[in-house]
């Protein structure tokens, strides 16, 4: 169990470092804000590798938010999860003394909270973060305008967690649809805010 945790922590940190160290210049020109985001990712990843702390560093707790709306479903087997729904979130900078860095802490809105734990399909552009490690992100926008280039916020990307290995190697900006179960992350700075568990390609 300890070995598994160690490897998971090491992979999460390495993935963050990989994101921040990737050569984005060939396809985009990061703004100052984007560069600050990449620097933050790098610092978090490096700190994680150095400490290999199996316990995630959490941001301060926020009051529970009452769910007042729900995501509309259709007669299809899976409802569509739109990027508009995922934009129902606000972020604030929270300083984490352990990392000597700021973290964008999300405060999810009622639409997002209502969607958590449910199965949906969502369409976007593929961002291969680390093909060898099977680490792919689905983005609302193409690579040149994505979160990593500073063209959008954290709510515009979702981490694809395949039920095993991905079906194939995906290319940058492949526009595809995946289905899976939405998981929210507000506390673990080493993961993205939106995660699609059991992600597989899907045709609506």
pTM, 2 dp: 0.67
Tell me: pLDDT of 146 over 80: yes
Which range has the worst mean pLDDT, 21-30, 118-127, 152-161? Answer: 21-30
Adjacent-strand bridge partners of 176: 124
Q: How far apart are CA 57 and CA 100, in angstroms?
A: 12
Is the pLDDT at 28 greater than 70, yes or no? no
pLDDT band of residue 180 (cuts 50, 70, 90) is very high
Report d(CA 45, CA 39) in Å as an integer. 10
Question: Can you tell me whether residue 43 is helix, strand or coil?
Answer: helix
Q: Which domains are assigned to the chain?
A: 59-201 (2.40.50)
Nearest Cα to 18, choosing from 134, 139, 152, 160?
134
Whether the per-residue pLDDT at 122 is higher than 60: the answer is yes
Q: What distances in angstroms separate CA 174 from CA 27, 181, 183, one per listed residue?
A: 15, 21, 23
pLDDT at 20: 44
Residues 6+ apart with CB under 8 A from 8: none
Where would I find the beta strands (DSSP E) of the chain? Answer: 79-80, 89-96, 101-108, 119-130, 135-139, 157-161, 175-184, 194-201
Lowest mean pLDDT across 57-71, 74-88, 95-109 = 57-71
């Amino acid at each position: 169990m300890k070995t598994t945790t160690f490897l998971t922590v090491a992979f999460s940190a390495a993935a963050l470092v990989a994101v921040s160290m990737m050569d984005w210049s060939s396809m985009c020109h990061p703004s100052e804000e984007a560069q600050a985001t990449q620097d933050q990712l790098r610092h978090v990843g490096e700190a994680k590798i150095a400490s290999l702390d199996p316990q995630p560093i959490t941001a301060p707790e926020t009051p529970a938010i009452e769910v007042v709306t729900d995501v509309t479903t259709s007669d299809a087997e899976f409802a569509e999860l739109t990027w508009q729904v995922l934009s129902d979130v606000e972020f604030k900078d929270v300083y984490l003394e352990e990392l000597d860095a700021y973290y964008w802490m999300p405060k999810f809105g009622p639409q997002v909270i209502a969607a958590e734990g449910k199965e949906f399909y969502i369409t976007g552009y593929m961002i291969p973060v680390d093909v060898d490690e099977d680490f792919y992100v689905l983005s609302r926008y193409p690579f040149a305008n994505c979160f990593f280039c500073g063209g959008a916020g954290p709510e515009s990307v979702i981490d694809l967690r395949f039920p095993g290995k991905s079906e194939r190697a995906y290319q940058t900006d492949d526009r595809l649809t995946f289905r899976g179960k939405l998981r929210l992350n507000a506390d673990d700075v080493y993961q993205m805010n939106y995660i699609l568990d059991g992600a597989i390609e899907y045709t609506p």
